[in-house]
């Protein structure tokens, strides 16, 4: 544990040091604030964003439980700020006031492990035991892999939200959380996850990120001197350049939307030359959940967005051209076996992907029965009570 904290300290930047002073200045005011606000809930997503589970929980609380004091931390320059501010109270993300609320809050709630005034400083305070607070992890997606950075020893979070039985059992038995800390409640955003008929027919392509590409490291599994030379770039560009794909889109009168993971968005410009075939979607212009709801078919690799799409019983295609490399350099295997549990066909090369795409069109973009059966076995909740379950469970925490 001490070695882990020392490693984090080495990564502390000058901007983080400023937050040490903010923390110290906030200590005394937070004590007095807490006396008058004994049950303040502080909620946040990313600093510049309010579109995920925290936003939907905040919206639910403001509309249905106005008696609960709740504040949303967000950067005032965020494109989502006005939408949040219309619902309830906000605080500038990373400000001294944010620190005061963070220290005074009875519950700190986020979908991000780093959802706090400053991730580096708070990590040292929380994991070392200097600061003991009640933190709730709403999650960003359904976990299927072994994510060691979310182990209890690395987070000390009080409540860890899961969505499906197999995920719940895997996290409960593997991640080291005390009894009762892991709860199966579902993702708050699923209250608003349902099929929507859009103005255009959309083929959505959403690959996940690669740690060794987004954050180049010395022991990388692949040389990343040039993004265009990575297997990731070559594989996706080859698919997007395929004349058969162009013909498919024309025949089906579909628009392809290519949306890179937030940690890979900086590479979006490398795909701009394909704009006549694909729309290169970037944040914040495009909303992930809106695209998932409107799209007729999803192509991804290992992203948990496949879970959201499959929840709506819409067809998923997996393009996994670098499976071994991904496992070695990004995240280890968990309980989920794509061949046995996946919600669609697995394609290891471009030819297989084009063929599966054509087969999906021939099936009228409906999920095949075998994959629907897997969905029925995998998902547990099928209602619009996700926010309510999360709210009630958080309310019971002491």
Q: Give the CATH number of the domain where residue 150 resides.
A: 3.40.50
* Structure tokens, 346: 């697995």
For residue 337, the domain's CATH number is 3.40.50.12580
Count of the separate structural domains present in the chain: 2
Do residues 170 and 245 both lie within one domain?
A: no
196 is a domain residue:
no
pLDDT at 221: 67
pLDDT digits (tens, 9 = 90+) for 301-345: 999 999 999 999 999 999 999 999 999 999 999 999 999 999 999
Do 147 and 256 fall within a single domain?
no
- 64 with 106, same domain: the answer is yes
231 in the same domain as 135? no
Flag whether 191 is in a domain. no
**321: containing domain:** 201-378
119: in domain: yes
The closest alpha carbon to 51, from 283, 298, 287, belongs to 287
- DSSP β-ladder status, 316-319 and 297-300: parallel
Within this chain, do residues 53 and 91 fall inside the same structural domain, yes or no? Answer: yes
In a domain, 180, yes or no: yes
Are 181 and 224 found together in one domain? no
Residue 195 domain-assigned (yes or no): no
84/13 same-domain check: yes
Question: Per-residue pLDDT tens for 81-120?
Answer: 999 999 999 999 999 999 999 999 999 999 998 899 999 8
The answer to whether residues 78 and 217 belong to one domain is no
Low-confidence spans in the chain with pLDDT less than 70:
1-12, 216-221, 223-224, 273-275
In a domain, 193, yes or no: no
- Give the pLDDT score at 389: 98
Residue 299 falls within a domain, yes or no? yes
Residues 52 and 28 in one domain: yes
| Same domain as 359, residue 219 | yes
Residues 296 and 343 in one domain: yes
Q: Are 157 and 243 within one domain?
A: no
> Residue by residue, what is the 3-state secondary structure of the chain?
CHHHHHHHHHCCCHHHHHHHHHHHHHHHHHHHHHHHCCCCEEEECCCCCCCCHHHHHHHHHHHHCCCCCEEEEECCCCCCHHHHHCCCEEEECCCHHHHHHHHHCCEEEECCCCCCCCHHHHHHHHHCCCCCCCEEECCCCCCCCECHHHCHHHHCCCEEEECCHHHHHHHHHHCCCCCCCEEECCCHHHHHCCCCCCCCEEEEECCCCCHHHHCCCCCCCCCCCCHHHCHHHHHHHHHHHCHHHHHHHHHHCEEEEEECCHHHHHHHHHHHHHCCCEEEECCCCCCHHHHHHHCCEEEECCCCHHHHHHHCCCCEEEECCCHHHHHHHCCECCCCCHHHHCCCCEECCHHHHHHHHHHHHHCCCCCCHHHHHHHHHHCCCCCCCHHHHHHHHHHHCC
């Amino acid at each position: 544990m001490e070695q882990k904290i020392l490693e984090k300290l080495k990564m502390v930047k000058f901007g983080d040091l400023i937050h040490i002073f903010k923390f110290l200045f906030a200590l005394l005011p937070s004590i007095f604030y807490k006396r008058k606000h004994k049950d303040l809930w502080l909620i946040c997503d990313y600093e510049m964003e309010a579109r995920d589970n925290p936003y939907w929980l905040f919206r639910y609380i403001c509309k249905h439980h106005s008696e609960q004091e709740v504040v949303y931390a967000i950067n005032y320059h965020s494109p989502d700020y006005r939408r949040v501010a219309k619902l309830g109270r906000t605080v500038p993300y990373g400000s001294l006031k944010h620190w005061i609320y963070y220290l005074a809050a009875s519950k700190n709630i986020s979908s991000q492990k780093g959802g706090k005034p400053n991730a580096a400083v708070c990590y040292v305070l929380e994991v070392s035991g200097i600061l003991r607070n009640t933190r709730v992890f709403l999650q960003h997606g359904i976990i299927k892999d072994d994510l060691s950075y979310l182990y209890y020893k690395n987070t000390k979070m009080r409540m860890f939200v899961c969505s499906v039985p197999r995920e719940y059992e895997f996290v409960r038995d593997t991640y080291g959380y005390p009894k009762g800390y892991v709860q199966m409640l579902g993702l708050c955003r699923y209250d608003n996850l349902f099929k929507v008929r859009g103005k255009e027919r959309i083929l959505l392509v959403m690959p996940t990120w690669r740690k060794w590409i987004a954050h180049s490291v010395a022991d990388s599994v692949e040389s990343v001197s040039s993004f265009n030379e990575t297997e990731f770039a070559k594989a996706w560009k080859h698919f997007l350049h395929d004349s058969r794909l162009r013909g498919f889109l024309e025949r089906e009168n579909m628009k392809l939307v290519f949306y890179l993971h937030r940690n890979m968005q900086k590479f979006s410009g490398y795909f701009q030359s394909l704009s006549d075939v694909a729309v290169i979607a970037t944040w914040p212009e495009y909303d992930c959940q809106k695209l998932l709801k409107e799209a007729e078919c999803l192509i991804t690799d290992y992203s948990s967005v496949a879970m959201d799409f499959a929840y709506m019983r819409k067809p998923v295609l997996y393009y996994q051209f670098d499976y071994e490399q991904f496992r070695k350099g990004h995240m280890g295997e968990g309980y989920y076996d794509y061949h046995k549990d996946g919600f669609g066909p697995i394609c290891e090369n471009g030819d297989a992907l084009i063929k599966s795409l054509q087969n999906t069109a021939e099936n009228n973009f409906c999920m095949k029965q075998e994959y629907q059966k897997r969905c029925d076995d995998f998902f547990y909740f099928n209602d619009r009570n996700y926010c309510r379950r999360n709210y009630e469970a958080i309310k019971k925490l002491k």
